[in-house]
Amino acid sequence: QTIDVASSSHTYTITVGKQLRLSPYKYLPDNFPRKKNRLLILADETVASYYLEDVRTAYAEKLPVHTYVLPVGEEMKSFSGYEELLSACLQTGLDRESAIIALGGGVIGDLAGFVAATYMRGISLVQMPTTLLAHDSSIGGKTGINHPEGKNLIGAFHQPEAVIYDIEMLDTLPKKEWLCGFGEMIKHGYIADPQLLEQLKQLNQCAALTISDKLLASSIAVKKEIVHEDEREQGIRAYLNFGHTLAHALEQTAGYGMLTHGEAVVNGMVFALYVGRRLGYDGPDAAEELRWLRAFGYSFTPLKQMDSARILQAMKHDKKNRGGSVRYVVLADAQQPIIVTLDDEQLLTYMDAFKK
Ligand code: NAD
Ligand code: ZN
């Protein structure tokens, strides 16, 4: 499956399939090997242990390749992780003709992407996602790191030369990470693609491991379309925040790492469905959706146990809010996202009522 993306800087291709890691040049622009002088592959320790050798050997067919392996975890998406990588780039002798290969999940993608966006004012980047979640994070050009004050507060838009998504690498992904990635696929289904949503409902948890390239490509297509129309997040890209306003608040209140992002997003989406109905809209019914999502493997304990006042405080900190009230994505009807503004009192009332 291939998807072409026309970004404002250049056009690139997303390829989804099996064993792509073994012949990456096939999925890169034809002139790529001629125009580059060297490559630096970045991966975390886990991904490196499984796939770095394959990928290194494949790229080494045409270009000098260096590798750099980072510890696993969100902590690397920090100033110190960023500095460490910049130093690695300098030591490797990367220049404007070099490229960085981000082999990993969203953490490596965001961090390596931000290094590529800023090193010598920007060099080439190739995204090779290895998690289900990264089908989302590797598309759209957002790169960045965290600040102690909050996630993703520092960053840049930087589009890759190509996204090479070898879904065979998903075979080694732990179940927890599957649920994380499915959260975003389900989101894409709710906001834009009824067929995708239906197919996801048909999968049961065990079948999750046999996810097809077609299903993934549908989910990628939703993100691509939205991002294409609104590359710099001034309008409809906000729909991708469906479920995320509450999700970020839940993650923050629970303490990062206590709750997976996917779980938080699924909780947030169900609450957003509830809010939509309370506002008089005709979107899917929260209680009904909750049933299949629970069977799929998601827990709704976080939402049910939340302290409404604390969650509200956290929501108001969200960098996407304007002014004092909270901007919320709800569904006006199936696959009809809209943005509403909610005041404190409404939010508290809805949260308290939802818990019952
Ligand atoms: P991650 O990169 O930390 O990967 C999750 C875990 O899976 C890690 O422990 C990793 O070592 C392991 N792993 C990765 N691939 C594996 C494989 N094939 N087999 C076995 N283990 C594997 O996290 P993630 O969930 O992929 O991404 C989360 C990050 O993505 C967050 O920092 C988030 O902010 C970011 N994100 C960015 C965007 C964007 O638009 N840029 C969008 C959504 C999320
Ligand atoms: Zn998300």
CATH of the domain at 106: 3.40.50.1970
305, 279, 225, 319 alpha-carbon torsion, rounded to 10°: -60
Distance CA 59, CA 291 (A): 46
Checking if the pLDDT of 323 tops 70, the result is no
* pLDDT category of residue 206 using cuts at 50, 70 and 90: low
The parent domain of residue 13 ranges over: 2-172
- Is residue 190 domain-shared with residue 267, that is, in the same domain? yes
Whether residue 244 is annotated as binding a ligand: the answer is yes
- Which ranges of the chain would DSSP assign to H, the alpha helix? 32-35, 45-47, 53-60, 79-92, 106-118, 134-137, 175-192, 194-202, 213-229, 244-254, 261-278, 286-296, 301-305, 308-316, 344-355
Q: What is the pTM of this model?
A: 0.93
Phi, psi of 233 (to 5 degrees): 55, 55
Q: What pLDDT, on a 0 to 100 scale, did the predictor assign at position 322?
A: 62
Task: Look at ligand 1, atom 22, and give the residue with the nearest C-alpha.
Answer: 173
Residue 180 belongs to domain with CATH number: 1.20.1090.10
Last residue of a domain, one of 144, 172, 200: 172
Last residue of a domain, one of 172, 204, 219: 172
Checking if the pLDDT of 209 tops 70, the result is no
**What percentage of the chain exceeds 70 in pLDDT?**
96
Active site residue 62: no
With vertex at residue 39, the alpha carbon angle to CA 38 and CA 43, rounded to the nearest 5 degrees, is: 160
Distance CA 5, CA 139 (A): 9
Whether residue 172 is annotated as binding a ligand: the answer is no
**Average pLDDT of the segment spanning 167-184:** 93
Phi, psi of 126 (to 5 degrees): -120, 125
Distance CA 188, CA 147 (A): 28
- Is residue 94 domain-shared with residue 134, that is, in the same domain? yes
Please tell me the total number of residues recorded for the chain in this structure: 356
Mean pLDDT lowest for which of 191-205, 238-252, 293-307? 293-307
CA dihedral sign of residues 65, 69, 73, 79: negative
Q: What pLDDT, on a 0 to 100 scale, did the predictor assign at position 207?
A: 66
Q: What pLDDT, on a 0 to 100 scale, did the predictor assign at position 355?
A: 84
103's CB contacts (< 8 A; 6+ apart) are: 41, 42, 43, 47, 48, 51, 52, 55, 128, 130
Q: What pLDDT, on a 0 to 100 scale, did the predictor assign at position 252?
A: 84
Mean pLDDT lowest for which of 44-48, 214-218, 234-238, 253-257? 253-257
Mean pLDDT lowest for which of 75-89, 146-160, 237-251, 307-321? 307-321
CA 92–ligand 2 middle distance (angstroms):
33
Residue 131 in contact with residue 260, Cβ under 8 Å? Answer: no
Q: What pLDDT, on a 0 to 100 scale, did the predictor assign at position 19?
A: 97
Distance CA 220, CA 331 (A): 20
- Is residue 103 domain-shared with residue 21, that is, in the same domain? yes
Residue 44 in contact with residue 72, Cβ under 8 Å? Answer: yes
- Is residue 168 domain-shared with residue 180, that is, in the same domain? no
**Average pLDDT of the segment spanning 128-146:** 95
- Is residue 236 domain-shared with residue 344, that is, in the same domain? yes
Nearest to 166 by CA among 207, 129, 117: 129
Mean pLDDT lowest for which of 9-13, 232-236, 271-275? 232-236
Residue 236 in contact with residue 335, Cβ under 8 Å? Answer: no
- Is residue 24 domain-shared with residue 158, that is, in the same domain? yes
Q: What pLDDT, on a 0 to 100 scale, did the predictor assign at position 306?
A: 80
Predicted-assembly ipTM surpassing the 0.85 threshold: yes
CA 206–ligand 1 middle distance (angstroms):
21
* pLDDT category of residue 210 using cuts at 50, 70 and 90: confident
* pLDDT category of residue 356 using cuts at 50, 70 and 90: confident
Q: What is the DSSP letter of 169?
A: G
Determine how many CB atoms are found less than 10 A away from the CB of residue 307. Answer: 10
Checking if the pLDDT of 352 tops 80, the result is yes
Question: Among the options 21, 135, 158, 261, which is catalytic?
Answer: 261
Active site residue 244: yes
- Is residue 166 domain-shared with residue 292, that is, in the same domain? no
* pLDDT category of residue 128 using cuts at 50, 70 and 90: very high
Strand partners for 341: 327
Q: What pLDDT, on a 0 to 100 scale, did the predictor assign at position 56?
A: 98
Active site residue 261: yes
With vertex at residue 326, the alpha carbon angle to CA 322 and CA 328, rounded to the nearest 5 degrees, is: 110
337's CB contacts (< 8 A; 6+ apart) are: 191, 192, 239, 242, 329, 330, 331
3-state secondary structure of 178: helix
Active site residue 147: no
**Average pLDDT of the segment spanning 166-182:** 93
- Is residue 22 domain-shared with residue 137, that is, in the same domain? yes
Number of domains in the chain: 2
Q: What pLDDT, on a 0 to 100 scale, did the predictor assign at position 230?
A: 82
* pLDDT category of residue 347 using cuts at 50, 70 and 90: very high
Checking if the pLDDT of 34 tops 70, the result is yes
Determine how many CB atoms are found less than 10 A away from the CB of residue 157. Answer: 17
Question: Among the options 56, 187, 188, 223, which is catalytic?
Answer: 223
Mean pLDDT lowest for which of 94-98, 109-113, 302-306? 302-306
Express each pLDDT in 51-109 by its tens digit: 999 999 999 999 999 999 999 999 999 999 999 999 999 999 999 999 999 999 999 99
Q: What pLDDT, on a 0 to 100 scale, did the predictor assign at position 321?
A: 61
CA 105–ligand 1 middle distance (angstroms):
3
- Is residue 181 domain-shared with residue 138, that is, in the same domain? no
- Is residue 139 domain-shared with residue 45, that is, in the same domain? yes
Ligand 1 pocket, CB under 6 A: 44, 46-47, 50, 72, 74, 77, 104-108, 110, 130-131, 133-134, 136-137, 140, 142, 151-152, 169-170, 172-173, 177, 180
Kindly give the number of the ligand 1 atom that is closest to the alpha carbon of 169.
18
- Is residue 110 domain-shared with residue 141, that is, in the same domain? yes
Last residue of a domain, one of 110, 141, 172: 172
Distance CA 118, CA 86 (A): 9
Exposure letters 251-287 (e unless 16+ CB within 10 A, then b): bbbbeeeebbbbbbbbbbbbbbbbbbbbbebebbebe
- Is residue 158 domain-shared with residue 192, that is, in the same domain? no
Distance CA 355, CA 74 (A): 31
Whether residue 356 is annotated as binding a ligand: the answer is no
